Copies of this chain bind each other. A is one copy, B any other.
Amino acid sequence: MSRTEKAVVLLSGGMDSCVCTAMARARHGADKIALLHAGYGQRTEARERQAFEGIAEFYGVRERLMVRLEHFRAIGGSALTDAKIAVPENKLEEAGAHGSKIPVTYVPFRNAHFLSVAVSWAEAIGANFIYIGAVAEDSSGYPDCRPEYYKVFQDLIRVGTRPETQIEIVTPVIAMKKSEIIRKGIELGAPLHLTWSCYQSEQEACGVCDSCLLRLKAFAEAGTPDPIPYKGKALAQA
């Protein structure tokens, strides 16, 4: 593979997608990556978009697409998109890490929407790669974050696009532990201070939702402080 080939990178603004972006940039170069952000009516939509823009600016990537998938809020069925379903707090084990149970923060079939936008855009602009920062094991246990899911989606691209279209899905952090992702990000100089992971707060991270708990645990394991602000001084030192 040549370094000059173009890649669409899904960048939510979280830690995993930020490091995924750093890896894509290291491989393809900033002028050959196109950054895609999809808002979906989630609680922290505005904050995540801000994180996306900050990271895109940091890397000087000009080719960007921000889309809004409004229908997720109408569809609901998830604590992230339906205000009537509470985001669980301090319940990481129960919430289904390691696939024991699908947590209420699962957004039905969400990643298929993101990947579909990525494939349409990639086919239109002639990109040959799609990067997505899905994490399988050391995460929340969502079905659409597992390697077998991306294998099938790869098949779908093969049968569902023009015969001449060649698009490969790349999941560079899927098998990594969160702490390894942090170390990789630090190694590559990724702007982890610009990322946002919290499911429910937009000024200071709550520190108690699944996403914050996984993140804080990972920074603790990596032996480095989390650079983003948390509610309460104690948490920031976790």
Contact = CB atoms under 8 A, between A and B. Distances in A.
Interface of A: 65, 67-72, 74-77, 102, 106-113, 115-117, 119-121, 123-124, 143-144, 146, 148-149, 152-153, 155-157, 159-163
A112 B149 contact: no
Count copies of this chain in the complex.
Answer: 2
Contacts of A144: 159-161
A166 B121 CA distance: 30
Is chain A's interface secondary structure helix, strand, loop, or mixed overall? helix
A112 B112 contact: yes
Contact of A70 (B68, B76, B148, B157): B68
A27 to B, nearest CB: 24
Of A72, A117, A149, the most chain B CB neighbours within 10 A belong to A117
Contacts of A156: 112, 149, 152-153, 156
Contacts of A102: 162-163
Most buried by B among A117, A155, A160: A160
A76 B193 CA distance: 34
B143 A148 contact: no
A152 B159 contact: yes
A159 B109 CA distance: 10
Given A67-B71, A102-B163, A149-B156, 16 more contacts: A75-B120, A106-B162, A108-B124, A110-B120, A111-B160, A112-B115, A112-B116, A112-B119, A112-B156, A143-B159, A143-B160, A143-B163, A149-B160, A152-B155, A152-B160, A153-B156
